[in-house]
Amino acid sequence: MHVEFLVEEESCAEFLTILAPKLLRPDDTFRTHPFAGKPDLLNSLPARLRGYAAWLPNDWRIVVLVDRDQEDCRALKGKMEYSARAAGLNTRSGSSDKSRFNVINRIAVEELESWFFGDVTALASAYPRIPRTLGEKRKYRDSDAITGGTWETLERVLQSAGYYPAGMPKIEVARNVSHHMLPDRNRSLSFKTFRDAIRQMQL
């Protein structure tokens, strides 16, 4: 199987470059395609999917991953599903036969950095001055419910621990944390949904 990941930006592409091999089988292949932000991805999606539909091999899958960014999840997912259907592709959510689909649409709630807070052990392994008990604090127990922007929150956590006083480099942080992440340890519900969908498409 080959997987095409369509993502918002370079930091997510870097994250998946390291994480995807932990989710896929050894003989599976994948490629990440970062866009210039969420609007660029969503605006480009209809034409991109029509292009895939013209030649997509049977053993290829397309995974579209975006941040929620305080949008209504159902409305956002609906836009993504419509783009796939309009291109003549079957989505996992819209297919009654879970073995016959081309596209998986998934949303990171609230942002990719929510998934980093979902695995505090990985975060503290990458940045040892962050306490491993961080996930026990009320604010961080449910990483998908962190308010005020998760990347801003992560930047503050890193800076309070003495890292990146001039600002958090998102790509570098994504690379560092994902090296230590274990998919089965992550507590983020939206990550678990993403993880399980990737695994199920390999059946």
Q: What is the pLDDT of residues 9-48, one digit of tens each?
A: 999 999 999 999 999 999 999 999 999 999 999 999 999 9
CATH code: domain 2-111+188-200 is 3.40.50
Rounding to the nearest 10 degrees, give the CA dihedral for residues 170, 173, 177, 178: 50
Domain residue spans in the chain?
Answer: 2-111+188-200, 112-185
Q: What is the DSSP string of 87-145?
A: TT--BTTT-SSTTS-SEEEEEESS-HHHHHHTTHHHHHHHSTTS-TTGGGSHHHHSGGG
pTM over 0.85: yes
37-82 pLDDT, tens per residue?
999 999 999 999 999 999 999 999 999 999 998 899 999 999 999 9
pLDDT above 60 for 99: no
Quote the CA–CA distance of 85 and 129 in Å, as a whole number. 47
